[in-house]
């Protein structure tokens, strides 16, 4: 079994952003490229979860999947669940494509700080960041059942399991590194 799989969430509708965030550019690189690099530094395998119509936009050779049919379009939990079903592993490092400031040092630091909790997630002084997190590999079926019951909130799921919140300052001193980009950077 694979030890750590990185889950790059790239399936959002990007309504506020106006176009798929995965292909937005910053400093000459696409958001998904930066996030992929960050995950690859701490994982044995990286899977990108995208909307079906975007799968062909990613380069050949990358593992890109869509949500499982039974949870398709049901938000980030569906993406996490779909990746868990495709790639059984001991644990999963989750990072959305709209957090391009998180780099290899930060992903490696989160892995090092993780405990025996079901999920280890990051929080700044201002907010909790549930989608920059490390998940225990045994939650695939429980997560799928949660979604199938109509529950789509990441926070609500994390409240049902043992979740440890790690201070972002232990990972990087600048909380701006942990922001997600919802509008275009000028």
Domains of the chain: 2-178 (3.90.550.10)
Q: What is the pLDDT of residues 13-40, one digit of tens each?
A: 444 545 578 888 888 999 999 999 999 9
Task: Flag whether the pTM goes above 0.75.
Answer: yes
Could you tell me which of 3, 17, 22 has the C-alpha nearest to residue 98?
22
Q: What is the pLDDT of residues 115-154, one digit of tens each?
A: 889 999 999 999 999 999 999 998 888 999 999 999 999 9
pLDDT: which is higher, 17 or 59: 59
Crossing angle (nearest 10°) for helices 104-113 and 31-40: 40
pLDDT at 114: 92
pLDDT at 1: 62
pLDDT at 186: 47
Coil, strand or helix at 130: strand
């Amino acid at each position: 079994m694979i030890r750590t799989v990185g889950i790059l969430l790239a399936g959002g509708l990007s309504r506020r952003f106006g176009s798929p965030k995965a292909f937005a550019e910053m400093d000459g690189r696409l958001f998904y490229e930066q996030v992929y690099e960050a995950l690859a530094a701490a994982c044995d395998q990286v899977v990108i979860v995208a909307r079906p119509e975007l799968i062909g936009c990613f380069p050949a050779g990358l593992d890109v999947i869509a949500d499982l049919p039974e949870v398709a379009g049901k938000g980030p939990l569906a993406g996490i669940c779909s990746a868990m079903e495709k790639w059984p592993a001991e644990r999963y490092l989750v990072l959305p494509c709209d957090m391009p400031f998180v780099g290899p040092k930060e992903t490696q630091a989160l892995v090092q700080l993780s405990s025996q909790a079901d999920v280890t997630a990051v929080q700044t002084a201002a907010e909790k960041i549930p989608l920059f997190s490390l998940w225990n590999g045994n939650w695939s079926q429980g997560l799928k059942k949660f979604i199938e019951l109509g529950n789509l909130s990441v926070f609500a799921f994390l409240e049902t399991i043992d979740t440890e919140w790690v201070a972002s300052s232990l990972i990087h001193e600048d909380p701006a590194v942990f922001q997600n980009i919802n509008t275009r950077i000028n």
